[in-house]
Amino acid sequence: MTSSAQTMAVDGVTVAYRRGGSGGPVVVLNGHWGSRRWLPLHAALAERSEVIAPELPGFGSSELPDWVKGIDDVLLLVRDALDALGLERVHLVGYGLGGWIASDLAIWFPERVRSLSLLAPYGLRVPGHPLANIFLMNPAGFAEAYGLLDADAALVDGLVPGVGTPADGGMEEWAHRYGEMGAAARLMWQWRYDLALDHRLPRLAERGLPSLVVGGADDRILPAAQVERWAQLLGARTVEIPGGHAFPFTAPRQTAEAVTSFIESVEKVAA
Amino acid sequence: MSNRLQFYNFTLMPYPFIPPGEDLESSWITIPNSLFDAKVAHRLYTEYLEQLVASEKFGYDGIIVNEHHQNAFGTIAAPNVWGGYLAARTSHIRIGIIGNALPLHQNPLRVAEEIAMLDIISGGRIISGHVRGMGAEYHSSGMDPTRSKGRFWEAHDLILRAWAEDGPFTWQGEHYDIEYANIWPKPVQRPHPPIWMPGTGSTETIEEVAKRRFSYMQTTTSNWITKRSFALFRQICEEKYEYSPAPTQLGRVIPTYVAETDAQAYREFMPHAMWFFRTGLKIPMHHLMPPGYNTSAAMLRTIQGRAAAGVKNFWEMSYDDLIESGHIIVGSPQTVIDKYGQQADEYGLGMAVSAGGHLGAMPNWMVMKNLQLMAEEVMPAFREPDGKPDHLREERAVPYTNAEQAATIPAPKHQPVVRLADGRDLPTALGHIPEVVAGGSTEPPTPAA
């Protein structure tokens, strides 16, 4: 098991990833924060599976080339990264923006996806229940908005769910996060949702893709109505984890258990 | 003959009837517009516009409006509308739209058309400023900040080409795909109106403006940053592009208040300067800089530079800080003359913007006093002996009177005509004269066999 990043060249772009455990394999796509670490969630998943956690373009040590203009470009990059890693079919896990990307990957490259586990995924428009504005939030309100107030300090140390301020980790860290949020903005500033998912997600279910939607019990970033809508469109089961939008960080064990038991059920059926 | 320094009255048109900055997270984006009363704004706008109109008679070189959205700091959402009003109410003074926020507009040709219309109706008096729009405006408009810079330069290039070249031509860019770029009307100033680009001192902006030989307008910053920016501008012009910039290529927004004595000016200006910096400019970083508006490398340079130079947020500065750092000039006519003179000599300042006029929450009378004292007590020190603004010594792009126009502008190549049934072209100007139209039928002419 490893926590330091490896890098590889994919389509001429540096892609960083972390890899650990055996079984699976499970690919975890990051959301807009929490890059550059082997997270407790990764470690917990790696107890039962081989976990590969690439960093999306512009996050962590992965490059953001000019030609990545939208999610479709990221899909090709991720597919080619799977090729480079020799991963034919994977269980996909995605958090937030990474959940959106994971579901698009399942739509466009279904042959590469054994199952889909979405943790508070972005990408839907649910009238009256919009995603909070992750790009405009007072850093003073981060802890409350993301559910970090009661979190085990060791689990969330140094994690900043947005650009924040230079007081969090220094000026270079701040600029790095500004760049990461810019990478997220390139993919989802305009638009914050993809109406085509309303039409496309049910077709995944029709084709028999097993999926799971996991939400935070007190998520103030992604409203519960969005989690329900995802589950409805995918015909998926939902699991609620205690905590706010930060639940994959603050409740890594429970989150990993939900995902792992789902993956095991998928593998059992297949066997 | 040209003057040593040009004077511009630049009005932001704030709506100052809001709580103090200390009680606000921001005076931008999220400040509720329930605080805005259009009836109050009617009086405000009327006064602001009268102040700009009066600037012509006072002897200013130009009057300036700009574009901002959804904030209390500056409520001119559509500066070209004000440009039309000002063109109608003045006859000689230059009118600066500094500027249109190009990436916020879906079709850059709309901006090209509006500026061309203003240029024509004003007799060629428009200065066209091109800006990206404040970062905050990307939150307000939904436009994508990560594409802002690309859209800005492409829109700028498209607009200049549409003004300067005959159409139709096809534009196939990364951000705009227009099969027929063929604007009617084109501007009267050829190939295009003077272009100003504001900047805060970034090398990239200065480089681009110097390269294109436009005018660079330093936004509200300290003397130290202004001096450095101007030196860099001149250096790039001379070393990289091998020309000496004209003084009118270097402008600076330097809110200035002049009164009878230093002490009087200091007292009168204080609340208005402080409203401007403390409340009007209360714009926290998470509003000011949406992700992707700049690169992370540029942001790191900026923040490290600010830290090294000890730059504070606007709302953290005291009145004396602001005066000492040179963000504002306040004093007697002689004090103002001395400071402007020093900046002209040492920095190369050629255009003082916000030199007198409105700031913060100034009452109308105080603005008029500021304008009049500036015109009568300060401007003459920087003018040729005739005291005129430069534009009164220059030919207008279009003569002011019909008689001059008839005497000097050649007849258009085509006169409007009506083709009669017998194939004759009847000049419309003479179509009511029986002898000319005799025998003419307005049935469609028979096509040639």
* Confidence check: pLDDT of B161 > 90: yes
Q: Does A265 touch chain B (CB under 8 A)?
A: no
Q: Is the pLDDT of residue B184 over 80?
A: yes
Mean per-residue pLDDT of chain B = 96
How far is the C-alpha of A264 from the C-alpha of B155, rounded, in Å? 54
- Residue B359's alpha-carbon distances to B74, B94, B271, in angstroms, are 10, 21, 10
Residue written as tokens 């953001």? A64
Which residues of B are less than 8 Å from A138 in CB distance?
Answer: 25, 284, 286
Per-residue pLDDT at A3? 63
Residue A5 is predicted with a pLDDT of: 93
φ, ψ at B220 (rounded to 5°): -55, 105
pLDDT at B186 over 70: yes
CB atoms A165 and B285 under 8 Å: yes
Question: In chain A, which residues have their Cβ closer than 8 Å to the Cβ of B284?
Answer: 138
Tell me the per-residue pLDDT of B302-353, one tens digit each, with 9 for 90 and over.
899 888 888 888 889 999 999 999 999 999 999 999 999 999 999 999 999 9
User: Within a 10 A sphere around the Cβ of A98, how many other Cβ atoms?
Assistant: 29
Kindly indicate the confidence band of residue A1, based on its pLDDT and cuts at 50, 70 and 90.
Answer: very low
Structure tokens at A32: 């807009």
Task: Determine the pLDDT at residue B296.
Answer: 95
C-alpha dist (Å) from residue B90 to B54, B87, B157, B400, B409: 9, 6, 30, 12, 23
Residue B280, chain A, CB below 8 Å: the answer is no
Percent of chain B with pLDDT strictly greater than 70: 100
Note whether B394 and B6 are within 8 A (CB). no
**Residue B427: enclosing H or E segment and its boundaries?**
strand B425-427
Instruction: Return the residue in A180, A189, A193 with the most chain B beta carbons within 10 A, the one to mutate for interface testing.
Output: A189
**pLDDT tens per residue, range A50-59:** 999 999 999 9
- Rounded to an integer, what distance in angstroms lies between the CA atom of residue B116 and that of residue B91? 17
> What domains are defined for chain B?
6-392 (3.20.20.30), 412-449 (no CATH)
**Residue from A178, A186, A188 whose CB has the most chain B CBs within 10 Å, to mutate:** A178
Longest dimension (CA), chain B: 88
Q: What is the pLDDT of residue B313?
A: 87
Q: Which residues contact B150 (CB under 8 A, 6 or more apart)?
A: B174, B175
Q: Of B197, B16, B180, whose CA–CA distance to B97 is shortest?
A: B197
**Statement: residue B261 has pLDDT above 60:** yes
Task: Say if the Cβ atoms of B303 and A137 lie within 8 Å.
Answer: no
- Does B292 contact chain A (CB < 8 Å)? yes
pLDDT at B145: 98
Across B100-108, average pLDDT: 97
pLDDT given at position A182: 98
The shortest C-alpha distance from A21 to chain B (Å) reads 34
User: Which residue in chain A is spatially nearest to B300 when comparing CA positions?
Assistant: A175
For residue B182, pLDDT beyond 50: yes
Dihedral over Cα of B35, B105, B300, A74: its sign: positive
User: Which residues of A are less than 8 Å from B305 in CB distance?
Assistant: none
User: At B449, is the pLDDT very low, low, confident or very high (cuts 50, 70, 90)?
Assistant: low
Test B304 with A166 for CB contact under 8 angstroms.
Answer: no
On chain B, the residues whose CB falls within 8 A of the CB of A162 are 286
Give the whole-angstrom CA distance, residue B198 versus residue B134. 11
Q: Three-state DSSP class for A99?
A: helix
Q: Give the CA diameter of chain A.
A: 52
Q: What is the DSSP string of A106-122?
A: HHH-GGGEEEEEEES--
| Residue A187 near chain B (CB below 8 Å) | no
Q: Is B151 on the interface with A (CB under 8 A)?
A: no
Taking only the tens place, the pLDDT of each residue in A162-205 is 999 999 999 999 999 999 999 999 999 999 999 999 999 999 99
Name chain B contacts of A175, Cβ cutoff 8 Å: 296-297, 299-300, 303
- Pairwise CA distance, residues A260 & A239, whole Å: 12
What pLDDT score was predicted for residue A2?
Answer: 45
Residue % of chain B over a pLDDT of 90? 93
Least trusted range by pLDDT, from A115-119, A257-261, B397-401: B397-401
Whether the Cβ atoms of residue B62 and residue B90 lie closer than 8 Å to each other: no
Contacts of B288 (CB under 8 A, 6+ apart): B134, B135, B136
Name the pairing type of β-strands A90-95 and A26-29.
Answer: parallel
Contact present, A96 and A181 (Cβ < 8 Å): no
Determine the average pLDDT of the residues in B74-91.
97
Are the Cβ atoms of A182 and B300 closer than 8 angstroms? no
Buried-exposed string B60-88: b where 16+ CB fall within 10 A, e elsewhere: bbbbbbbbbbbbbbbbbeebbebbbebbe
As a residue count, chain B comes to: 449
Q: Which residues of A touch B285 (CB under 8 A)?
A: 163, 165
- Candidates B286, B13, B14, B242; CA nearest to B136 is B286
For range B255-268, the mean pLDDT: 98
**Which of B139, B143, B286 lies at the smallest CB-CB distance from A138?**
B286
Pairing of strands A13-20, A51-54: antiparallel
Residue among B198, B247, B254, B230 nearest B350 (CA) = B247
Interface contact A190-B300, CB threshold 8 A: no
> With contact defined as beta carbons under 8 Å apart, do A164 and A177 qualify?
yes
Q: What is the pLDDT of residues A201-228, one digit of tens each?
A: 999 999 999 999 999 999 999 999 999 9
pLDDT band, very low/low/confident/very high, at B22 (cuts 50, 70, 90): very high
Residue of A nearest to B305 (CA): A171
Chain B: closest CA distance from residue A113 (Å): 31
